[in-house]
Amino acid sequence: MLDKNKALFDLITSGDVAGDRGSGSRGGLSNERYVIIRLKANELRKYQGFIDDDEEYIKLVLKGHEYGVIPKNTTKGIKKKIEKEINPLKVLTILKKSIPYNILGVERSDQPIISSKREVILSEYLAGEQKNK
């Protein structure tokens, strides 16, 4: 749960807001459903050209959709691109170009790891009756 909350916090604070998924608004669900169905389809699952890392990446993308950390706009763009594509390797390339690794919690070996401290400020405002003296 902590990792899920951290990922959502990173998403919200990154400026690329996915929208409110818990409010009953289901506008982006069809795009998300299409991408999930496409990634679970036999053409991708049984494709012999993937290496283990590619299969693991697809599982991470599916988990990202399950947890709701992939923004709706990103999913919409992915759907538009993979609708036209049949080749599983090209679909994987589209996914890797469209979804930033930091959303999925994956560290890339070709990217330097940048450690930054994040400061969270919590505040509270209490409203109540004031007594006149």
**Digits of tens for pLDDT over the chain (133 positions)?**
788 777 777 766 654 444 444 444 455 458 888 999 999 988 888 888 888 888 999 999 998 888 888 888 899 999 999 988 889 999 999 999 998 778 877 554 554 444 556 677 777 767 777 666 5
Q: Name 58's Cβ contacts closer than 8 Å, sequence gap at least 6.
A: 39, 44, 50, 92, 95
Q: State the pLDDT at residue 118.
A: 66
Q: State the pLDDT at residue 117.
A: 63
Cβ atoms of 91 and 85 within 8 Å: the answer is: yes
pTM beyond cutoff 0.75: no
- Classify residue 28 by its DSSP letter: T
